[in-house]
Each structure stands twice: as C-alpha cells, then as structure tokens.
Amino acid sequence: MPEEAGKLPRRAAPKPWRTGARLGVRWWLGALACLLAAALVLRIPAFFPVGLTPDEGLYMVQAREWLRGGWPYVAVWDMHPLGAPALFAATFALLGESLFSIRLLGVFSVTATALALILAVRAAGGSRGTGFAAGLIYGGHSLLLNGSPTNTEILFAPFVTLGMAAALRSCRRLLQGGAPPGWQDMLLIGLPIGLALVIKSIVVMEGSAAFLLVVGVAWRCGALSVPRLLGLALCYAVICATPTLLAGLPYLLRGELAAYVHANFVAPAHYLSDGASRSEALRQTALALLGCAWVFALGAVALLTLTWKTSRERRPVAAWLLVLAGLLWFAAATLGVIAPRKFYDHYFLTWLPPLALLGAVGARQLARSLQPAPATLAFAVVVLTATLSPWSSGLAERVRTGFGLRNPVVEVAKSVAAAIRPGDPIYVVNEDPIIYILAQAAVPTPYVFAEHLADQTDSRLGEESNPAMIDQDAEVARILGERPRAIVLHRGRWAFLRPRSAALIAEALANDYVQAGMVEAAGGTVEIWRRR
C-alpha cells in the first residue's frame, strides 16, 4: 500500500545482532584506548633511563646493525632467538633509533598482553570486567622484577596469552557439549606460541601448559582417545616449531645456517652448564614473591572462595576454568624460571600474566561476597589498589634517584661522542652495549655483550663463561690490533676481567691511548680512552 502523502517512510528497526556487534566493537575500542592510556601512565617511570640493562642494549645494537645490512648472529652475536632484535628493528624503522622508541614498544606490548588477558577471560566465559581487571593488574605489575626495560618476557607475553586464550576457548566449547579439540585448535594455540618461541625458547614450558590444559579437559570429559592425543601432540609440535624453522631459512639461503643453529641450539645448551648459587636463587625468588604479594593474595582468595562452596551451591564454571588455567600456567612459568638455573629477576616476569588472571578472579569473587550494591565499588577498589601499589613503589624509586635526570651511561655516551666522529669504531670493554647506540659508534666485534668476551662479573654465568665458544683472548687481541677510536672501561669492575684480556687492554691503553674523560657510576669510575 503506498505511503500517505506528506508522511516520511518509517525506518526499519535495527536488528539486534547488528546493535550487539556495534556495541561489542565500541567496547573493544574503548578497552584498547583505556588500556593503552593506562599502560602509558603506569610505565612512565620506565621512560626515565635509570633501568638500562645490557640485554636491552644488545638487542638495540643487533637491530641497528640489521637495518644496516648486518644480520643477527653474524654482525652482532647473541644466544637468543631473533624475535627480540626483529621487533626492535621494526620499532627503529617506524619510530627512529632511540631508547624512547624501545620503551614505547614496551608500552605497546603490555597493552597487547592486557587485551589478550581480556580475550582469555572471555574465552572461558568470564565477564568483561574481570578481563579488564586482569589487564590493569598486569600493567601495574609490569614495572616489577626489572620490567621497566623492554625485556623478552615483556615481548613474548602477548603471544603466550593469546595461545592460552585459544586453549580456554577450546575447553569451554568442550564443557558446553561441543566438539573435542582438533587440528584447528592446535593451529590457534600453536601459532602464537610458535611466534613466542622465536622471541625466547623457554616459552616451551608455557606452550606445553596450554596443550596440557586442552587435552587434560578433553581426557577428563572422555572426548579423547590415545591415538587422537598422539596425533594432536604431533600436530601441535609441528605448528609450534614452524616459525623457528622458517626463521632459519634465510640463513640457509645465505649459506650461514651454522651461525643460526649454533646461536639458537648449541650455545643455549652450553649456557645451561652453570647456575646461580642456592642463596642467590632463594634471594631472587623471595624478592619476586614479595613484589607480587598482592596478586598472590587475590589468587588465594579465588581458590579458597571457590573451594569453600558447598555441593548444593552452583559452582561458577568460568571461574573454575580460569583458576585451573592460571595455576597450570603459573606452574609452567615457574619451571621456565627454574630450568636455566640463573634466577635473574626479569625471568620472574613470566609469572605476571597468570597471576593477573588469578588476581582478577579473586577480586571478582571477593566482591561477590558483598551485597549487590557495594559489590561493583569493592571490585573497583581492590583492582585499582592491586594495580597502583607496585606502580607507586616504582615511582617512589624514581623519585629517590631524581627521575634519572643524571644517568651515568648517558654521560659516558656523550663523552665518547665528543671524542670520536659518528661511525667510528669503539670498544666497550665492560659497560652497557647501548653506548654504541647513544654515541653513534660502530661495533668492532660481533661480541658486544661484555660477558661474552672479556667481562666475567656475573657469577651465574660461571667463572669461565664462553657461550659463543670462541677464543676470547684472540678476539680481544684482534679488536685492539685494529685500534678502535675509543675504549670504554669500567675501572670498578677491572678485577673481574679475564686476566689475559686485562693484560692486553692495559698494554694497548699504555701504548696507543690517552684518557679523554671520566664518569662516576655505580661501583666505580668509567674511563673513556681516546686513540692518540
């Protein structure tokens, strides 16, 4: 029937699924904006360069040389997979070669992990609020355990969390009467885990936990036979290994496969031959436990409140699934800390995603014990307290040190830059490799990490650490024979240099160099020597 004259046609009512989709997209965009802003604010202390680490400096040097045509392991050697320098190189290409760019990469990685935690909670059937709380708690704790630098543990966390989210999705589907896990599930879980393995090989522990979660739930539900289990295990192993194998393909085509194999497989095995003392292991573990006290307490609340429910009460399946996944994930992360037997503080950063998951569930369970009216407020207060407590501690440390307005490493780099021309080779004997970047100097050796060549200050690496398995004294002699434009030496750590290397360096300084500067640093004076 034609529309009456003078009247506008009626608009069709929006379909419910379209409205829901729009609201979902808006919520996720809002969550992304909020978590990115929160990560930026929470990690502000990281932008004051008081937390420089040799690992971060090494990846920066690798990235710079890679962008100039020098491949990792060949131009600059390390015994980690090439994922970290690849991400650093991409960041340099997009944002410029600076420490600020790398710390922004840390912010983006923390934001990505926070979003992946929301996905994990939602995959298990949990609420958006619980997932958002897990993301906030992770961001607040990401400064702990030497997490202000952009370490590998910060970089691979988003991929591991995505893999765990896919595992939780498979478990929930099965518990709701859906199909048992298949190769599609192995692909969704294994691909992000495989990418994480290209950043650090210890992820194999957490990747195993994700697989065990899926097959364990499937086995408990009677949906998995032994042949199918073996088939899934083979499929999962192949998917996880593929990124590492593909990363070695360019080296094979260049005729440098031996360098790739040695750095990724042989050197790490050699590295495991020595470990930290028992006292050092206990000290680092105790510090990590104290730093994560809030999330440990909330995780205990989650476990206890779920356990105390009587058999007549309806048990929240999503909460139980999240707690099960969090505990298994935490156990795998702990094995990853223990396996190398070094107990560096940043190894414990792998605890944070599972603990954030458990802490968010605990906060939600704690809030639900109250009457409906104050429950939301209580949940928000607990989550914000757990988020801001470690952040305030990190900020207080920056206040104590003057916000890094005086940074010895930066001062050393400026002194070096004043003594050379950009692009001149220098030799940093036993200081941070980032000096090569900050001073715009060329590297005279692939072995820019001090402990790989002359410096033996870290007892956890062993008295005669030589992961590169080279003639270290011969390499030091070769470097000095090429007479680099400047030499940077931390005099306070002189006693820890390998004796033969120390003698070679002392002879070169006496014959060919004059002192061009001094900078007071932690543990002694850093000397800058310029070639005559």
- Let me know whether 93 and 157 are in one domain: yes
pLDDT at 446 over 70: yes
pLDDT band at 310 (very low <50, low <70, confident <90, very high): very low
What confidence score (pLDDT) does residue 467 get? 82
- pLDDT recorded at residue 145: 85
Residue at 395 is within a domain: yes
Dist CA 204 CA 241 (whole Å): 10
Provide the H-helix boundaries in 254-342: 257-261, 267-271, 278-291, 293-307, 317-338
The arithmetic mean of pLDDT across residues 88-95, rounded, is 97
pLDDT digits (tens, 9 = 90+) for 390-433: 777 766 666 666 665 678 888 999 999 999 999 999 999 999 99
Does residue 78 share a domain with residue 206? Answer: yes
- Helix boundaries (H) for 198-292: 204-220, 226-253, 257-261, 267-271, 278-291
Q: What is the pLDDT of residue 15?
A: 53
What are the structure tokens assigned to 360, written together? Answer: 């968010």
Same domain, 208 and 337: yes
Residue 464: predicted pLDDT: 61
- Could you give the CA distance from residue 354 to residue 332 in angstroms, rounded to a whole number? 10
DSSP helix/strand/coil, 455: strand
Residues 272 and 369 in one domain: yes
pLDDT at position 312: 42
Q: Residue 21: inside a domain, yes or no?
A: no
In the predicted model, is pLDDT for residue 311 greater than 50? no
502 & 425 share domain: yes
- Alpha carbon distance 121, 132 (integer Å): 9
The sheet with strand 513-521 has its strands ordered as: 426-428, 486-490, 524-531, 513-521
What was the pLDDT predicted at 372? 62
Predicted confidence at residue 519, as pLDDT, reads 93
Identify whether 7 is part of a domain: no
139 lies in the same domain as 157: yes
Best-predicted range by mean pLDDT (47-51, 278-282, 312-316, 358-362):
358-362
In terms of residue numbers, what domain contains 315?
Answer: 53-144+151-400
User: Residues 6 or more apart from 90 whose CB is under 8 A from it?
Assistant: none
Domain boundary among 360, 383, 400: 400
> Is 367 a member of any domain?
yes
> Is residue 288 located within the same domain as residue 325?
yes
User: Which one has a higher pLDDT value, 388 or 362?
Assistant: 362
Shared domain check, 383 and 253: yes
DSSP 136-165: HHHHHHTTTTTTSS--HHHHHHHHHHHHHH
Q: 131-182: per-residue pLDDT in tens?
A: 999 999 999 899 888 888 899 999 999 999 999 999 999 999 999 888 889 9
Q: Do 230 and 82 fall within a single domain?
A: yes
Counting the structural domains of the chain, the total is 2
Which of 372, 400, 428 is where one domain is finished?
Answer: 400
- 266 inside domain: yes
Q: What pLDDT score was predicted for residue 22?
A: 65
The two three-digit tokens of residue 357, written as one number: 């998951």
Task: Specify burial of residue 495 (Cβ count, 10 A radius: 0-12, 13-18, 19+).
Answer: exposed
User: Would 223 be classed as within a structural domain?
Assistant: yes
| Residue 237: inside a domain | yes
SS3 category, 530: strand
Single residue among 376, 400, 424 that ends a domain in this structure = 400
pLDDT at 152: 95
What tokens appear for 106 in the block?
A: 């840390």
Of the candidates 106, 103, 64, 107, the one whose C-alpha atom is nearest the C-alpha of residue 86 is 64
| Per-residue pLDDT reduced to its tens digit, 259-276 | 999 999 988 887 776 677
Picking from 87, 52, 51, 50, the residue whose alpha carbon sits closest to that of residue 66 is 87
Q: What pLDDT score was predicted for residue 284?
A: 87
**Same domain for 363 and 421?**
no
Q: Give the per-residue pLDDT at 400.
A: 62
Q: Which residues contact 83 (CB under 8 A, 6 or more apart)?
A: 152, 155, 156, 195, 196, 198, 199, 200, 247
User: Which range (27-36, 53-62, 75-84, 293-302) has the least confidence?
Assistant: 293-302
What confidence tens digit (pLDDT) does each residue in 334-358 have? 999 998 888 888 999 999 999 999 9
pLDDT for position 1: 44
Residue 313 has pLDDT above 50, yes or no: no
- Whole-angstrom Cα distance, residue 184 to residue 275? 40
**What is the per-residue pLDDT for 308?**
67
Q: What is the bridge-based pairing of β-strands 524-531 and 513-521?
A: antiparallel
Give dist(CA 216, CA 209) in Å, integer: 10
Q: What is the pLDDT of residue 402?
A: 60
**Secondary structure of residue 383 in the 3-state scheme:** helix
Average pLDDT over residues 59-84: 95
Same-domain pairing of 311 and 376: yes
Q: What percent of the chain stands above pLDDT 70?
A: 89
- The pTM assigned to this predicted structure is 0.91
Q: Are 122 and 353 in contact (CB under 8 A)?
A: no
DSSP string, 68-134: TT--BTTTB--SS-THHHHHHHHHHHHH-SSHHHHHHHHHHHHHHHHHHHHHHHHHTT--HHHHHHH
User: How high does pLDDT run on average in the chain?
Assistant: 87
Domain-located, residue 481: yes
CA distance 119 to 44: 26
Phi, psi of 198 (to 5 degrees): -75, -15
CA trace torsion 98, 100, 106, 109 (10° rounding): -80
pLDDT band at 8 (very low <50, low <70, confident <90, very high): very low
Same-domain pairing of 134 and 238: yes
